[in-house]
Amino acid sequence: MICLTIGVLLDFIIGDPQNPIHPVRIIAMMAKSLENKLRKIFSSNLKLAGAIMWFIVIFITFLISTAIVVASGKINKYLGILISSIMIYFCLSSKGLIDEGIKVVKFILKDDIVGARNQLSYIVGRDTSNLNKDEILRAVVETLAENLSDGVVAPLFYIGLGGAPLGIMYKAVNTMDSMFGYKNEKYKDFGFFSAKADDVFNYIPARLTSILIVISSFILKLNTKNSMKIYKRDKNKHLSPNSAHPEAAVAGALNLRLGGPNYYFGKLVDKPYIGDYIKDIEVEDVYKTNNIIYTVTLLTYVIVLLFTFIIRR
């Protein structure tokens, strides 16, 4: 419980650390190295190669994380608390999400559309070279809403179930989906298992996130009734079984219409709209989304804290 509190506070205060020893970077390097080797060994069955890679990375990640937590705790109780706290901090990205969105907004406020497009390209998969101001802001709100689940709620959910090691293991699941979970020619087979595993691991957290967004909309005096309405109606309007859930809840809370057609790698993808067009999107909507992120983070923290307390009792 102490480790969880310290980890959340560090995330709120410092944000996402940019350093070469970040677990996500180490996991990514390990996965990439295994990809190169397994592609050669199982060249005739890339789905099998991808599945083997996934299990190896997950096993090693969980084993090493557990060993670090146990060893540090045996050396010194306070060292164990410190190490677990830092590992939990590495799992979370509430402030990191907000900071990335604000970087784009700063360009918008300076009327630098080219700069905003370039900055946006670092956090979204769609083509940004021809987006106008409204489309840029919509993309920011969408990515903040979608990543609220896998960047905050899901890690806290798994930390509540299994402490820092399970939180780090979840980050490995999410990292491999980010690296390999594409339906292009290179990864449609090799990344198949990574994408499906990520869907499974995010199934409960995505739905929990949406419920907490609706609750947050009430706390923040946004449109709670519409948030619930759009969530119920549009939660399945996405190829992913999870992505539309938080997006729909946020779209309703802010009275916005998200989603719709976008270009990916030069190809137009006709995605369905999420939400109703009630008003034009504004910079203020990004700030409101940031407030939702902080509120949902705190609510999830309280839920996990209470769950941990009850289990330990």
pLDDT band at 223 (very low <50, low <70, confident <90, very high): very high
Q: Quick one: 14 exposed, middle or buried, by C-beta within 10 A (0-12, 13-18, 19+)?
A: exposed
Residues contacting residue 8 through CB under 8 Å, at least 6 positions apart: 88, 89, 92, 156, 297, 301
Residue that is written with structure tokens 């719709």 in the block: 260
Cα separations in angstroms, 202 against 93, 126, 140, 283:
16, 22, 21, 29
Residue among 250, 255, 262, 253 at smallest CA distance from 277:
255
pLDDT above 80 (res 250): yes
- What local confidence, expressed as pLDDT, does residue 219 receive? 97
pLDDT band at 270 (very low <50, low <70, confident <90, very high): confident
pLDDT above 80 (res 19): no
Residues contacting residue 201 through CB under 8 Å, at least 6 positions apart: 154, 158, 170, 173, 174
Domain count, the chain: 1
Of 3-17, 120-134, 263-277, which gets the smallest average pLDDT?
Answer: 263-277
Quick check: 48 and 193 in contact, CB under 8 A?
A: no
Q: What sign does the CA torsion over 115, 238, 199, 196 have?
A: negative
Q: Dump pLDDT digits (tens) for 28-81.
A: 999 999 999 999 999 999 999 999 999 999 999 999 999 999 999 999 999 999
Mean pLDDT of 235-255: 93
Quick check: 159 and 92 in contact, CB under 8 A?
A: no
pLDDT above 70 (res 154): yes
Of 15-19, 50-54, 289-293, which gets the smallest average pLDDT?
Answer: 15-19
pLDDT band at 97 (very low <50, low <70, confident <90, very high): very high
Quick check: 58 and 138 in contact, CB under 8 A?
A: no
pLDDT band at 20 (very low <50, low <70, confident <90, very high): low
Quick check: 81 and 3 in contact, CB under 8 A?
A: yes
The backbone torsions φ and ψ at residue 84, rounded to the nearest 5 degrees and listed phi first, read: -65, -40
- Quote the domain boundaries for residue 47: 2-312
What's the pTM value of the predicted model, to 2 decimals? 0.93
Concatenating the DSSP letter of every residue in 254-290 gives HT--EE--EEETTEEE-PPEES---S---HHHHHHHH
> How high does pLDDT run on average in the chain?
94
pLDDT above 90 (res 221): yes
Percent composition of the chain: helix, strand, coil (DSSP 3-state, to 5): 75, 5, 25
Please state, for a pLDDT cut of 70, what percent of the chain lies above it: 99
CA distance 262 to 31: 30
Tokens of 201: 């691991």
Quick check: 116 and 101 in contact, CB under 8 A?
A: no
Cα separations in angstroms, 204 against 208, 221, 263, 287:
6, 26, 30, 27
Q: Dump pLDDT digits (tens) for 131-152.
A: 999 999 999 999 999 999 999 9
